[in-house]
């Protein structure tokens, strides 16, 4: 599927066609007064209804629960509902670290060997000075990390991976969480 075809398919989704609803400040943000809370509940019901008729709702929900932590009202759920679904399924999803993927670091975070080695592999044409500038550190720090790496040693210690839940599991838990929210019940 070409980028243009994909983009036009996404533009055809109900959420893309209703920016007035999905970008409303009260759809997800905290409501301050009773009138705001009533409007918020109304907007959430409307958005959930629109999401329910979307042809890619199940895939959208699965991605928002299992693959990446997104903000806002997505796939008929609030951020709090998606956290509840993850909690019930034992899923842990971190926010995307786009800065880390680009080799950019906050000046208060020390660089680590894995980041340096990945950046070196991704940009073999860069000099050590350019790598140091990318990380905002000294050339000697880059040299130390490259020198201390043992070939064949994994970049990061292996972490235990939990299997992803199935789409069926996510949808079943979604229905439970939404039903509980409608009844005003929070699972313990």
Residue 151 DSSP SS3: coil
Could you count the other beta carbons within 10 Å of the beta carbon of residue 68? 11
Nearest CA to 139 out of 124, 125, 127 is that of 127
- pLDDT of the residue at 158: 43
The number of angstroms, rounded, from the C-alpha of 129 to the middle of its chain's C-alpha atoms is: 33
- pLDDT of the residue at 171: 95
pLDDT along the chain (188 residues), means of 10: 49 79 75 82 89 91 87 87 93 61 50 78 84 83 82 57 84 93 64
- pLDDT of the residue at 8: 52
- pLDDT of the residue at 177: 93
**Rounded Cα–Cα distance for residues 137 and 134 (Å):** 8
Nearest CA to 132 out of 151, 150, 115 is that of 115
- pLDDT of the residue at 101: 44
- pLDDT of the residue at 132: 83
The ranges assigned to domains in the chain are: 3-94, 98-148
- pLDDT of the residue at 70: 80
């Amino acid at each position: 599927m070409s980028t243009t075809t994909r983009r036009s398919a996404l533009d055809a989704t109900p959420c893309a066609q209703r920016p007035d609803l999905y970008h409303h400040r009260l759809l997800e943000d905290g409501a301050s007064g009773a009138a705001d809370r009533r409007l918020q509940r109304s907007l959430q019901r409307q958005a959930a209804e629109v999401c329910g008729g979307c042809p890619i709702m199940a895939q959208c929900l699965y991605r928002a629960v299992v693959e990446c932590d997104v903000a806002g009202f997505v796939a008929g759920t609030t951020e709090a509902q998606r956290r509840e679904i993850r909690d019930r399924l034992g899923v842990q999803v971190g926010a995307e670290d786009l800065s880390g993927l680009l080799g950019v670091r906050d000046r208060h975070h020390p660089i680590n060997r894995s980041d340096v080695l990945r950046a070196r592999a991704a940009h073999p044409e860069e000099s050590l000075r350019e790598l140091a500038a990318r990380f905002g550190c000294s050339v000697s720090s880059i040299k130390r990390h490259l020198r201390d790496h043992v070939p064949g040693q994994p970049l990061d210690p292996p972490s235990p991976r939990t299997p992803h839940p199935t789409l069926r599991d996510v949808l079943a838990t979604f229905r439970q969480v939404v039903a509980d929210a409608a009844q005003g019940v929070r699972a313990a």
